[in-house]
Copies of this chain bind each other. A is one copy, B any other.
Amino acid sequence: MAAHIVDERTKELQRPSTQIILRTHTEPSQDLDEERRRATFSVSELAYVLNGGKELLEKKQRLAEILAKTSWGDKSKRYFLSREEEYVGGLRAALGIWEKMKAEELCLADGALMRSLVDFPGGLELHIGMFIPSIISQGSPEQQAKWMPLCMGLRIIGTYAQTELGHGTFVRGLETTATYDRKTGEFVLHSPTLTSTKWWPGGLGKTATHAVVMARLMMPDEEGGGVRDYGPHGFIAQLRDLDTHLPLPGVTIGDIGPKVGYNGVDNGFLSFDHVRIPRDDMLMRFAKVTPEGRYVPPPPSNSKASYATMVFVRADIVKNAGSSLGRAVTIATRYAAVRRQTAPAAGERELQVLDYQNCAATLLPLVASAYALFFMGEAMMAMYRQFEKDRDRGEFGALPELHALSSGLKALCTWITADGIEECRRTCGGHGYSKLSGLPSLFQNYVQNVTWEGDNNVLCLQTARHLLKALAGVRQGKRVSGSAAYLNEVAVELAPESRCGATCDKCWLGADVMAAALRHTAARGVVTAAETLTAATGGKGLVFEGRAWNENTVESIRAAKAHCTYILHQTFVQSVDQLEAAAASDPGATCEQGRAVGAATAAVLRQLAALFSLEQLERSGGVAALLEDGYLNAAQAAALRRRHRLLLTDLRPNAVALVDAFGFPDYLLNSALGRADGDVYRGLLDMARGSPLNATQEGPAWPDVLKPVLAARSRL
């Protein structure tokens, strides 16, 4: 239909006297080729680091090619699906991957890689991500033996039903009940109120046959006089008939409707009307109910183990944040290098959008953030693995620190990513508003991360609580270890004579100057939160919950963010040091394994680390806090600003190379604007042809809506 768009200049335009601005968009890839030639470091070396080595990177590229050719992995219609088609398509993709793994006996890591490449969340997400893990971690050996074959053979599909209409993050508020019936040896699952309706579980709406249901365990007294509430516990409940897929009696289920994104997933609602399940279907690895109705509480270490799972999930969210932001900056940076708008002077070629300072000032700090988040995710995974080792030795000492740190980092990193994706989208101007850019779907699917697995503000408050308790401890003469150890020196840090050591613009590139400034900001944040809170309690000192706490959360959240920013900076710098040191000590295979980089790459990474931190300081009110404290003087603040702007220029030649190094295949990006060859305008036009509205020339409104109005009247 759009086949005869004229791609050649017409004779008129080729006449010498024409004044039209000549354009050379016929070879769009030239701009990207030129960008790639400007790189000062080895892209493949860095790509190995970011992708776990050469082998994994090549596997990713290879899998992408294979997946693109499958019926269920093809993405050409992805942006055109109705909600129902998206739901069916998401399931087909998940089942396709599942079958392929079985047929080719692939490992779980390959499965996860395929799922990330196909990038089509569907009704199996919680079967894989929550139902099976819950049975493994909370089921007794007998329960695992019974349920795991059913799960792995896809003879049942499960979900995890925790959140209710009335309660999300606050789990203790759940209202669904599981009341033990001593006579029959069954639990009665029941939804006593409207607000107790389960709401949100993925796959619950139309897919799952079973669910792990979190319900308050209610044990009637033996005399039958009262009921004792033991709080939320997990129960396996069958929801649908396996032959007809109809809800079982007493079970009401449905889809909760469309969302911002994630619409391939049938998030559902569920209520129980006195549904009976056998006693055996309470998850009994830890807490138990005996046949005669005695409650056996979990051993004390169990609660710690469940915290560990949370830490793992959050580490995974941080890794995923880095890669999601990486996708967005890849698209936006490549497009900004190809898009040209407005010639600086008559007769000159139009400028690449990336050469406007405000565009670079948006994108380059986000490139830096994506790297910061990547290194943080790696570090958190390493911390988690260390914790596993400790745990196996019965050592749980690191857990409070790990829990507090992972809470705030989950929050800060998902905020940076969600906001960053949207900023990337906006730098693409009008074309970023098109779904064909890939950015709208990326944002719409991603942004739930600021809410789920703990609302970000609530998580920041958990980190803040840890920091404020640490501060209180220090003031009582205790010593703090871990990431908040700087609070041991808080009195010196915040003494009036404490000053930033930067004496020149370039000093802001020094990791020590930056670390000191970020540390000071964090310490100031914690102390300000403490002061505010103490003032609110009428000088009665610190409290960590209740009204005074809730009414003074703004400074606490700020403190948590400042603390996590400091950790992100430290982790970034240390990671680069380690990579460079590894190259020096073993210049051989380590690079291909993604465990080392040379000096040129390390130098660019250090620029990114500096840019990341300068940006965070300027954005988050850090500079204001440092000035207010007298830690920074006016000249230093101006130097910081100048050095931030100069870093944009320093990093500009490496912009495209830095996003190439993420190693995202075009198949994953699925973006007309982000394609590696830079042929963006042809990409838009080619993709637009598939729009369902283009199925006919007249469009779907013509016969019934437009024709009665237009055709009739036009003949008047």
Contacts and interface: CB of A to CB of B under 8 A. Distances in A.
Nearest to A218: B12
Interface in A438-474: 440, 444, 447-448, 450-452, 455, 457
Contacts of A88: 700-701, 704-705
Given A7-B193, A23-B193, A700 B259 contact: no
A73 to B, nearest CB: 15
Contacts of A624: 618, 621, 623-624, 627, 637
Interface string A182-212: 0000000011111101011000011101000
A77 to B, nearest CB: 11
A434 interface: yes
A392 interface: no
B206 A699 contact: yes
A442 to B, nearest CB: 11
Interface in A690-707: 690-694, 697-702, 704-707
A435 B257 CA distance: 7
A225 interface: yes
Interface size class of A (residues with CB under 8 A): 35 or more
Interface in A531-584: 532, 545-547, 550-554, 557
B693 A206 contact: yes
Contacts of A123: 701
Interface centre among A169, A450, A551 (most CB of B within 10 A): A551
A167 B341 contact: yes
B702 A190 contact: no
A31 to B, nearest CB: 13
Contact of A5 (B194, B266, B545, B694): B194
Given A17-B225, A154-B710, A699-B206, A681 B84 contact: no
A344 B701 contact: no
A95 interface: yes
A677 interface: no
Interface string A149-161: 0000111110000
B4 A698 contact: no
Contact of A434 (B259, B444, B457): B259
Nearest to A342: B170
A384 interface: no
A39 interface: no
Interface stretch (A349-357, A509-517, A598-606): A349-357
B430 A200 contact: yes
A258 interface: yes
Interface string A624-652: 10011110001001100000010001000
Interface string A490-512: 00000000000000000000000
A222 to B, nearest CB: 13
A246 to B, nearest CB: 5
Contacts of A552: 357
Contact of A713 (B23, B153, B690): B153
Contacts of A706: 91, 157, 207, 245
B216 A20 contact: yes
Contact of A2 (B220, B226, B271): B271
B227 A12 contact: yes
A191 B623 contact: no
B226 A256 contact: no
A106 interface: no
Given A87-B700, A357-B550, A435-B259, A190 B245 contact: no
A685 B229 contact: no
B12 A257 contact: no
A697 B249 CA distance: 13
A294 interface: no
Contact of A193 (B25, B356, B450, B621): B25
Interface centre among A168, A221, A341 (most CB of B within 10 A): A341
A322 B557 CA distance: 29
A13 B192 contact: yes
Contacts of A691: 83, 205, 254-258
Contacts of A701: 87-88, 91, 123, 206-207
Contacts of A634: 628-630
Given A357-B551, A706-B91, A713-B155, A227 B194 contact: no
Interface stretch (A58-66, A140-148, A173-181, A299-307): A173-181
A645 to B, nearest CB: 7
Contacts of A13: 177, 192
B681 A166 contact: yes
A326 to B, nearest CB: 21
A194 B25 contact: yes
A130 to B, nearest CB: 16
B246 A87 contact: no
Contact of A705 (B95, B168, B450, B716): B95
12 contacts: A5-B191, A20-B229, A87-B699, A87-B700, A88-B700, A195-B681, A254-B689, A256-B434, A257-B436, A260-B435, A621-B624, A628-B638
Given A17-B228, A242-B711, A257-B687, 12 more contacts: A8-B192, A13-B192, A80-B257, A80-B258, A163-B430, A194-B682, A256-B688, A257-B691, A258-B691, A259-B434, A345-B546, A433-B451
